[in-house]
Amino acid sequence: MVVATLKQVAAHAEVSVQTVSNALNAPHRLRPDTLARVNASIELLNYRPNRNARSLRTSAVELIGYCVPSWPNQTHLVMDQFLHALCAAAERTGRHILLFTAPPGVEGMPVYDDLHARRLVDGFVLSQTETRDPRHGWLKEKKIPFVSFGRVWKESTQPGAWVDVDGAAGSALAVRHLYETGRRRIAFLSWPKTSGLAEDRLDGWRSTCAELGLPTAGLAVRCREDTFAEGARATAHLLDSPEPPDGIVALSDILALGALRELTRRNLTPGRDLGVTGFDDSPLADVAAPGLTTLRQPMDEIATHLITTLTTQSHAAHLLHPTLVVRGSTAPG
């Protein structure tokens, strides 16, 4: 299919190519009648500006790189939600998302560098941020634009802009909700200490319990990995203790589902006998009987902040708040 060029439109409208370019990029510079004539030609010839030519000239490709994560042991159940939100937010600014794969950590950085140097992307959205994530410093030093979904934890400052969801606030919402439904011994299912995300959410649980005068000693359990079996194992451990909990805040929907499974196995009814909450409002939450109360991340808000922060090259930091989606797993006890 052959497409019209600026030159052809100019010839058709009997103006210079410059004027057609202005009609597109700075219409206020044209006299109304000229603009109308040019627009008519554009319409008639079904003209679409060649983005490569534009990018070559302006050295901006309007493409944002995003590394598609692949974890062997970790499932990303809300990735489709995130990607859709990110894509929609990018499109609202005339941009698009370019997907790529790269090894994790610093080993993947040459891939980022290459994509940027070859002008395939203007910058990057980072996610799956890890403790002392090496990517941020690396990109900053190379002066490659980026924004991070997730903080580099336990650092007062971190290189570059970031957007994140307040995990401690999430735990607080969960604990208070369980408290309001009558729970007084609320446990926490966590991940290994290496996860900053886990520490943040754990802190929220601990401080909120303290505020409400609830016990925490012996009620935090570390799971080895984010699996159903680990959630069940940790729950079994808690239930077998001398003073079992009546509420469980789990760090993820998967751990929470593991907890639900263990309850069911012991003929306990989630919601009635024990309140359970998860994190992320993944599709799982709706699938589990009797529905999992969970913390939803504001995906559209996250995506919008990521894109605007990246494209304005601001060094902003946005800490957003999750919301609690209440389902059967925390029916009043």
User: For residue 195, what are the contacts with CB-CB under 8 A and spacing of at least 6?
Assistant: 131
Name which of 127 and 208 has its Cβ closer to its own copies.
Answer: 127
The residue from 3, 40, 106, 210 that contacts its own copies (CB under 8 A) is 3
For position 287 contacting DNA by CB under 7 A, the verdict is no
**How many chain residues bind DNA (CB under 7 A)?**
30
Question: Least distance (Å) from its own copies to the CB of residue 171?
Answer: 22
Query: Interaction with its own copies in 274-293: which residues (CB under 8 A)?
Result: 283-284, 286-289
Question: Which residue, among 259, 254, 274, 275, has the nearest Cα to 177 in the 3D structure?
Answer: 275
Name which of 59 and 70 has its Cβ closer to DNA.
Answer: 59
Distance CA 110, CA 31 (A): 49
Q: Helices in 92-192 by DSSP H: which ranges? A: 109-117, 134-141, 167-180
Q: Encoding tokens for residue 175?
A: 């604990």
User: For residue 305, what are the contacts with CB-CB under 8 A and spacing of at least 6?
Assistant: 163, 316, 318, 320
For position 181 contacting DNA by CB under 7 A, the verdict is no
Q: 61 contacts which partner out of its own copies, DNA, none, CB within 5 to 8 A by kind?
A: its own copies
Q: Encoding tokens for residue 16?
A: 């210079």
For position 101 contacting DNA by CB under 7 A, the verdict is no
Question: Least distance (Å) from DNA to the CB of residue 121?
Answer: 16
Q: How many residues does the chain have?
A: 333
Question: Which residue, among 164, 166, 259, 268, has the nearest Cα to 221 in the 3D structure?
Answer: 259
Site string for DNA, 184-213 (x = CB under 7 A): ------------------------------
Amino acid at 292: L
Say which DSSP state 274 is in: B
Name which of 132 and 237 has its Cβ closer to its own copies.
Answer: 237
Name which of 114 and 286 has its Cβ closer to DNA.
Answer: 114
Query: How large is the angle between the packed helices 253-265 and 228-239, nearest 10 degrees?
Result: 50
Per the listing, tokens 């939803």 go with 296
Distance CA 260, CA 282 (A): 15
Query: Interaction with DNA in 5-44: which residues (CB under 7 A)?
Result: 5-7, 14-19, 21-22, 24-25, 28-31, 33-35
Q: How many other β-carbons are positioned within 10 Å of the β-carbon of residue 249?
A: 37
Name which of 96 and 237 has its Cβ closer to its own copies.
Answer: 96
Question: Least distance (Å) from its own copies to the CB of residue 27?
Answer: 18
Query: Interaction with DNA in 52-91: which residues (CB under 7 A)?
Result: 53-54, 56-59
- H/E stretch holding 85 reads helix 79-91
Query: Interaction with its own copies in 201-230: which residues (CB under 8 A)?
Result: 227-228
- The β-bridge partners of 162 are 148, 317
Distance CA 66, CA 61 (A): 15
Query: Interaction with its own copies in 241-270: which residues (CB under 8 A)?
Result: 254, 257-258, 261, 264-265
Residue ranges in contact with DNA by CB under 7 A: 5-7, 14-19, 21-22, 24-25, 28-31, 33-35, 47-50, 53-54, 56-59
Residue ranges in contact with its own copies by CB under 8 A: 1, 3, 46, 48-53, 55-56, 59, 61, 63, 66, 68-70, 75-77, 79-80, 83-84, 87-88, 91, 96-101, 114, 117-120, 142-144, 227-228, 254, 257-258, 261, 264-265, 283-284, 286-289
